[in-house]
Amino acid sequence: MFTGEARVAGDEAMCGTVSIGIADSTHAGLEFSSLITAADKAMYRAKQDGRNRVVMHSAYAYA
């Protein structure tokens, strides 16, 4: 889980979240556009599920 904090402009703190979607050719196919689409769907699932997550694309989860 990403819990980093960056300090900018004195004492003002900025916090952020990281949501990552992963796709592989086994589930998404070999075409670049298919891999990007699958990773994008997985990333939005990570955001939907609460952010600060890594989600692997599954052909079954998005059918």
Query: Which pTM value belongs to this model?
Result: 0.70
Residue 40 lies inside a defined structural domain of this protein: yes
Residue 3 lies inside a defined structural domain of this protein: no
Q: Which of 4-8, 20-24, 26-30, 50-54 has the highest mean pLDDT?
A: 20-24
Domains in the chain, number: 1
Could you tell me the CA-to-CA distances from 41 to 6, 10, 26, 34, 50 in Å, in that order?
28, 38, 16, 11, 15
Residue 6 lies inside a defined structural domain of this protein: no
Give me the domain span that covers residue 31.
18-63
pLDDT in tens, 33-54: 999 999 999 999 999 998 899 9
Q: Could you tell me how many residues make up the chain?
A: 63
State CA 2 to chain mean position distance: 12
Residue 54 lies inside a defined structural domain of this protein: yes
The torsion angles phi and psi of 14, rounded to 5 degrees, stand at -115, 135
Residue 52 lies inside a defined structural domain of this protein: yes
Residue 7 lies inside a defined structural domain of this protein: no
